[in-house]
Chain A
Amino acid sequence: GDQVEQSPSALSLHEGTGSALRCNFTTTMRAVQWFRKNSRGSLINLFYLASGTKENGRLKSAFDSKERYSTLHIRDAQLEDSGTYFCAASYQGGRALIFGTGTTVSVSP
């Protein structure tokens, strides 16, 4: 079964508002990364977390290995935040990254 369940699949925001993306894991993960995919397929790294929370500008991420989830919060959304966001997690001792199915974020004026 799917080991990384990402939700929602699509998210529409008005400028200035905020929301959260979430990934649930079916097993214990060692670390999680959040990426934004650019228009040409590259993955821009947003966060890498082995635990706790990190914040960068208007983005904040949290990872709870024990509770098996990670979140990415967007606040004060801007038009340039539009794009597809992926979480990806790795097992204990593993190098494989298991990707979520992505969340397409659309920010409108």
Chain B
Amino acid sequence: DMKVTQMPRYLIKRMGENVLLECGQDMSHETMYWYRQDPGLGLQLIYISYDVDSNSEGDIPKGYRVSRKKREHFSLILDSAKTNQTSVYFCASSPRGGETLYFGSGTRLTVL
């Protein structure tokens, strides 16, 4: 069953707290992505990972970092969360050179 799994689905944090969003995929895809989705802004690319320990900044990396120690897992970390990081975060994966992105269900993060 091909899928991208995100945990948690919902998360509420206070400003200044650390946040860890987890993403897993069972398709052995090389490339993984973290996006955030805000009204009127579409999908903004935060980071892209081409394989284990091969990560590149996307459009809006400031305030985020990522970790990819295993091909099937890609984590998004917010050190000291800010209220403007309240958003819906989507993880996606694709095979190398593939045009199909498989998306997770999203994590709705609220930073108070």
Interfacial residues, chain A to chain B (CB-CB below 8 A):
4, 35, 38, 40-46, 88, 95-101
Contacts and interface: CB of A to CB of B under 8 A. Distances in A.
A44 B101 contact: no
B106 to A, nearest CB: 10
Contacts of B2: 96
B42 A43 contact: yes
Contacts of A46: 42
A98 B48 CA distance: 18
B88 interface: no
Contacts of B99: 4, 98-101
Contacts of A95: 3-4, 102-105
Could you say which interface size class chain B belongs to? 10 to 19
Contacts of B58: 40-42
A43 B102 contact: no
B43 A42 contact: yes
Nearest to A95: B103
B60 interface: yes
A4 B99 CA distance: 10
A35 B2 CA distance: 25
B100 interface: yes
A45 B88 CA distance: 15
A4 B104 CA distance: 21
Nearest to A100: B99
A99 B43 contact: no
B103 A38 contact: no
